Amino acid sequence: MSDVYAQPTTGARRSDVSALASYTTLRMGGPAGRIVSATSADEIVRAVRDAGARGDAVLVLAGGSNVVIGDDGFPGTVVLVRSRGLRVVAEDADTVTVRVEAGEPWDDLVAATVANGWSGLECLSGIPGSTGATPIQNVGAYGQEVAETITGVEAYDRVEETTSRIAAADCGFAYRGSIFKYSDRWVVLSVDFRLSRSPLSGPVRYAELARALGVEVGNRVPLADARAAVRTLRAGKGMVLDPTDPDTRSVGSFFTNPVLDRAAYDLLRDRAADLGEPPSWPGAGDMVKVSAAWLIDKAGYGKGYAGPGGAAISRKHTLALTNRSGQASTADLVALAREIRDGVKTRFGVTLHPEPVLINTTI
């Protein structure tokens, strides 16, 4: 376990080792009071405990792909999760359960499962970040969610100061959420996934992916084909990290798709009558999930829309807000997000909510 002490000033230059911009995909964020790198579950727990004993606020940061950190940074201790590894902990003729350390890069894990003929994560290819972040967000894409394969999450409880494995049924998984999100009580240490032994993907649920694969929705395809198609689709939207592409300097989708009750959806349809039917999908019960990208675009914020200071909507995907110039501040990005949120509310009466975790900033 190693640590770095920050300068006791705010507004650090992005080249400073203490600047959290270096640890986020947005390349934004001011300095930390202290940065500790932890390479095992034991080191993560020790770093969090030690910081708590000093009275420090603690921010646990792994891939930095779903976090927006304010320009003043974080005055406490930042624990960088750098644990790696996966191992099989259970198996039978049809399934295999793998335990994956929180710091394992997510796409490396997906590549390994595909190479081993384990089905269940292939449509989540190309997503940046770490494995430990996936249950926090209940990461999902192209018809798959990690909640479908997670059987348990090992986490350190900062209140009880104990480590335990939490069963999937107790993780409170919901659309882009869980008990771990918006709470600093739990520190994810490892995640267990139960996957099918199969050379074929799960049924393709997403129409766009089915078209890319040349199959019907519900068909299965070779795992490698599903992974390749998903990565191609994501790259076309600037959603696969590429240091040569400034449109990938983002947190992916900045806003979640609104989930409306039937009355709210009917009001939206009335206000959008001149634009055609809003793209939507059935939700739980009588709820309807609506495309945030469509709402943003139709409210006048199309691909490439530029906000203040170099913050801009991606030229490839309306949902991604980017630090395209490389010089935008978090305040610039937040100003753009507020403009979009307020514009959508004014035009359609629907409130958009941010998907990333906001640290020392607000929208």
Active-site positions? 176, 253, 355
Count other Cβ atoms within 10 Å, centred on residue 161. 11
Quote the tokens at residue 325: 């110039």
Q: Which residues are CB-neighbours of 95 under 8 A, at least 6 positions away?
A: 194, 195, 196, 197
> What would the two tokens of residue 277 be?
């039917």
**DSSP SS3 for 308:** helix
Rg of the chain taking only CA atoms, in angstroms:
21
Question: Distance between CA 330 and CA 333 in Å, rounded?
Answer: 5
Burial of 353 (0-12, 13-18, 19+ CB in 10 A): middle
Candidates 137, 147, 112; CA nearest to 227 is 112
How does 199-215 read in b/e, with b if 16+ C-beta sit within 10 Å?
Answer: ebbbebebeebbebbeb
The C-alpha atoms of residue 231 and residue 244 are separated, in whole angstroms, by 17
